[in-house]
Amino acid sequence: MKERSAWWKEAVIYQVYPRSFKDSNGDGVGDLRGIISKLDHISSLGVDIVWINPVYASPDRDNGYDISDYRAVQPKMGTMEDLRMLIQKVHEKGMKIIIDMVINHTSDDHAWFREACSSRDNPFYSYYHWWPEEKGEPPHRCGFFDPAGKGWHYNKATRSSYLHYFSEHQPDLNWENPEVREQLYDILRYWLDKGIDGFRLDAITFISKDTRWPYVTPTILKDRYYGDWGHYYAKGPRLHEYLQEMHEKVWRHYDAVTIAEAPGIKADEANLFVDTGRKELNMVCHFEGIMSGYIPSEFKKMQPGGYNLKELKNIYTLWDKALDGRGWGSLYLGNHDQPRMVSHWGHDGVEYRELSAKMLFTFLLTMRATPFIYNGDEIGMVNIKFENIEDYQDIETRHMYRRIKDSGGDVDAFMKDQQLAARDNGRTPFQWSKDVNAGFTMGKPWLKVNPNYRQINAAAQENDPSSVLNFVRYLIRLRKSIPALVYGKYELLLPEHPHIYAYYRRAEGDCCLVLLNFTSYEVLCPADCSIPLGGEIIVNNYPGIREKDGRWRLQPYQALVCRIKNDTVSG
């Protein structure tokens, strides 16, 4: 079926992690004025939408994902006037701006929660989920960032425990209460009226709780991402009712883009969120691709040998198929919750760092899904791989460390795993130049700068035609100029091949063959995707091509896109 067009389907999204992007006042924390000062860099990429992580008032226990006032800007980030200016400047550059909205939970410092904690009779008590002590032990729920793994925390004044899926400082809002929902819709409208063009809705799949509180198997580390947790946490009975209500009360009145962060959601459930007829949301960011390669039932621990390309192809192909003609996908290879894209999916050694970054970007920018580029990836930043727990700032890593230590677990193994998977790997300051602190700050950076900034930085790549940065710019221009790369049908080739990811993007009379070698060795392509007659190579991260009897010999991490115009093969 032919895709219906929409601006957000054609867009490339650039994610800015504000505290690590650019510090304008020397306090070591990136801020709004810092972002404004670097808008030329962002717009030079050719992206359409800038997504910024939370900049609301927050005690910052989870880097802003614990909001204490939804209508205020956190002083470390700047002022409301700075934010107004950012919105205006982004618009002047012909881009749109979307913000993170964290409405599954608030901070424990939010006025609603402080009131709620004072007494059971306080009207705000019912803004949260409580388990009164006279009912005995609360039913097991996992607190993802809790040092003891517990999802309930006792509060003396109310003689009851409140629910928190993340840390105890992030109490979950009670969406059963219509007043809570109205408050939240009001907040969404407030920001849309300020000129915000849409939202990334944080952990939105968790908002509806089954308040019959069914039994969930208690496990220590296991219910984090796998097993049956998704069933209880991400598929609450009223989830879609709430999302439809939100559409009716908010989205319907604006031309905004709505993106669900969707932990726990599988391909066959995606259309429940994004099928246009259901009037819910525009896109979901799923976790199936990004979590592939981790050992099920372990906390962010990679399989020996890393991810399996066949499995990865299968996941992305399933998602494409599920959404075909019904909804629309999104694609990301890194973000603020993940290690660096190159370290995760490519090769971060000097020899292959740039090549694999370019190969991964070719993938990201030639799939049928809106691509998300995470800041720093466009210059090929890599994991910092801290050796000391003190270097980590992330609540997730710190608390998990404590949890493992307290239970007599293997902390050394944990530290090793974190070098691959910790969120702080993706949060180190942006490497602008070879100046002190990579040009990020004049002060002491809140998180250490990766010492490789002298080699990897934006300034060095700016005028180098063969840099990752300029490769990304080229790919974005290409995606914009070839509709087949946005809307064209995706057809997987060589599904069983363990090293090559190959596919067609096919539109009427136009077709692109994408060939990606995901390994550090040379691979001879099977005949199925041999050199197409009359094809033109439009992407190549090597200076030339190698072939043998009309078959491609792909160099380590080689990426090729070959365009076949007037394509007559039917899709």
Chain residues that interact with ligand TEU, rule: CB under 6 A: 62, 65, 102, 144, 166, 202-203, 261, 263, 336-337, 396, 423
Ranges of beta strands (E only) in 450-521 are 489-493, 500-507, 510-517
As measured in angstroms, the least distance from the Cβ of 491 to ligand TEU is 31
Q: Least separation, in Å, of the C-beta of 355 and ligand TEU? A: 28
Do 539 and 475 touch, CB atoms closer than 8 A? yes
The alpha carbon of 355 is separated from its chain's Cα centroid by a whole number of angstroms, namely 23
Least distance from ligand TEU to the Cβ atom of residue 352, Å: 26
For the CB of residue 7, give the shortest distance to ligand TEU in the complex, in Å.
Answer: 24
| Closest CB 103 distance from ligand TEU, rounded Å | 10
- Shortest Å distance, C-beta 335 to ligand TEU: 7
- Of the candidates 338, 421, 322, 419, the one whose C-alpha atom is nearest the C-alpha of residue 376 is 338
Residue closer to ligand TEU, measured from CB, 23 or 100: 100
CB of 261 to ligand TEU, least distance (A): 6
Strand 547-548 to strand 536-540: parallel, antiparallel, or no bridges (unpaired)? unpaired
| Structure tokens that stand for 162 in this block | 């409140």
- Closest to ligand TEU by CB, 374 vs 432, is 374
* Euclidean distance between CA atoms 243 and 28, whole angstroms: 38
Query: Of 65 and 430, which CB lies nearer to ligand TEU in the complex structure?
Result: 65
Neighbours of 201 (CB within 10 A): 24
Question: Rounded to whole angstroms, how far apart are CA atoms 433 and 450?
Answer: 12
Nearest to ligand TEU of 60, 62 (CB atom): 62
List 258's β-bridge partners, or say none. Answer: 199
SS3 assignment, position 366: coil
Instruction: Tell which residue, 315, 417, 413, has the closest CA to residue 367.
Output: 315
Q: Which is nearer to ligand TEU, 210 or 337 (CB)?
A: 337
Kindly name the residue from 82, 100, 261, 377 that is annotated as catalytic.
Answer: 261
Between 202 and 280, name the residue whose CB sits nearer to ligand TEU. 202
From the candidates 202, 280, 424, 567, which is the catalytic residue? 202
Of 456, 460, 335, 337, the residue nearest 14 (C-alpha): 335
Inter-axis angle of helices 395-406 and 411-421, nearest 10:
160
Nearer to ligand TEU, 56 or 328 (CB): 56
Token pair listed for 361: 């970007």
Q: What's the min distance (Å) between Cβ of 438 and ligand TEU?
A: 23
User: Which C-beta is closer to ligand TEU: that of 345 or that of 490?
Assistant: 345
Q: Cα dist. 262→226, 268, 281, 285 in Å?
A: 14, 13, 11, 6
Strands annotated E in 314-418: 330-332, 370-374
Residue 245 bears catalytic tag? no
Using a 10 angstrom Cβ sphere, with 0-12 exposed, 13-18 middle and 19 or more buried, the burial of residue 350 is exposed
Point out the residue whose Cβ comes nearest to ligand TEU.
Answer: 65
- Token pair 């609540």 is found at 395
Residue 570: closest CA among 503, 511, 499 = 511
Nearer to ligand TEU, 48 or 202 (CB): 202
Neighbours of 137 (CB within 10 A): 9
Nearest distance, CB of residue 97 and ligand TEU, angstroms? 18
Supply the minimum distance, in Å, between the C-beta of residue 166 and ligand TEU. Answer: 5
Q: Is 269 a catalytic residue?
A: no
Structure-derived torsion over alpha carbons of residues 223, 227, 233, 234, reported in degrees to the nearest 10: 140
Q: Long-range pairs for 466-472 at CB < 8 Å and ≥24 separation?
A: 467/354, 467/379, 468/354, 468/357, 468/358, 468/361, 468/378, 468/379, 468/380, 469/378, 469/379, 471/358, 471/361, 471/541, 472/45, 472/361, 472/365, 472/373, 472/378
Shortest Å, Cβ 319 to ligand TEU: 18
441: Cβ–Cβ under 8 A, 6 or more apart, which residues?
23, 26, 27, 28, 29, 30, 429
Q: Which residues of 30-48 are buried (b: 16+ CB within 10 A; e: fewer)?
A: bbbbbbbebbebbbebbbb
Q: How many residues does the chain have?
A: 571
* Nearer to ligand TEU (CB atom), residue 383 or residue 457: 383
| Closer residue to ligand TEU in complex, CB, 46/236 | 236
Q: Are 128 and 163 in contact (CB under 8 A)?
A: yes
Catalytic residue numbers?
Answer: 202, 261
